[in-house]
Structure 1
């Protein structure tokens, strides 16, 4: 049985969200025990909003629900990788992924 290290994560597990089909990283968010339980119960992504200090059902206002396919745990048990079938863009800007900008801008580091 996997036990998440909530203490090390200060009660908020970093959660990487990936498109189950394309494998593109869509966003990074945080889950607490309640949002993880709601995700497991509903099959849809729920997170904890650090700024609003409340539960957040992804897509509740935009309609861009994320249906969860798998949840994987990293080796330290303090990060989750959630694969989803997205119903639309993950980013509030309308982009498919929140990772649409490059840093430093216009520079390739390879």
Structure 2
């Protein structure tokens, strides 16, 4: 989502913000979402509503890639993203280059 302003900065467009807001309101089931007939649906690569059992299956890790579905670099397993901060990430990166 978003548009690149330059090679290091991405900004969200009004359409992006509207999609995020409407998805959130649909998920919450707010009055405004009901009036607009918005119904929440999981969308691969964008949103996923995980219940406690699903989070427990992932050992309570809250990395979005575990739930939403993101294309990971070859050689990186979903359960390894991220494990415990920069040290684990560097280990995974070095494993990719080996």
- TM-score normalised to the size of structure 2? 0.26
User: Greater Rg, structure 1 or structure 2?
Assistant: 2
- Bigger proportion of residues as strand: 1
Q: Taking CA–CA contacts closer than 8 Å with sequence separation of 6 or more, which of the two structures ends up with the larger relative contact order?
A: 1
TM-score by length of 1: 0.24
Give the number of the structure whose residues are more often helix, by fraction: 2
